[in-house]
Amino acid sequence: MIEVPRGHIQVIAGCMFSGKTDELLRLLRRAEIARRRILLVRPTIDDRTEAEVVRSRSGAAYGSTSVVDPTEIETLAKDAWADMIAIEEAQFFPASLVPVVERLADAGRTVILSGLNTDFRGRPFGPMANLMAIADGVTSLTAICTVCGDEATRTQRLIDGRPAGADEPVVVVGGLASEMSTPRRETYEARCRAHHELP
């Protein structure tokens, strides 16, 4: 009987400012020491830093490849002979990411994903809920509430200093300022349940 290598799916989830990217990059540095062949990908929609690097707010960085469609990840993993695939900002990918991740794990690869578990409304974000459901392990991270200093599990979107309404778009690429006659200043904060506001 031929033994198939065992795959593994690990999800790192939490609100903004909870250290998801730092945790992902920490795991990749450990995997490098173990001489794992690593592929780190991110969605092209995430254009906050240069496309070929994932960079955390603390300054940690790791080389990456931007992809549009989740099926590209399988091709890249095969071409790179990667046995560990890391996916940053998984919430921005479509639902088709879920079967791709399952196929990679079924083929014996380790897949580590990081992303926002909920959007600014407090609802499941993209494929994250399904990814957490199929994961072999989930690391849930929290931040510090900017209002009271308690544990924060929510992401608060602010527009010109006020909470964004429920009718605002979930994903804002590059902000809305370029599309409006009067620019709006959008910021995000980590908030606890008691101080998360959704007008």
Enzyme catalytic residues = 89
Q: What is the CA radius of gyration of the chain?
A: 18
> CA-CA distances (angstroms) from residue 52 to 55, 101, 140, 171?
10, 21, 27, 22
Q: Give the three-class secondary structure for 58.
A: coil
What amino acid occupies position 138?
V
Q: Which residues contact 67 (CB under 8 A, 6 or more apart)?
A: 41, 42, 43, 44, 73, 76
- Integer Cα distance of 75 and 130 in angstroms: 22
- Integer Cα distance of 88 and 73 in angstroms: 12
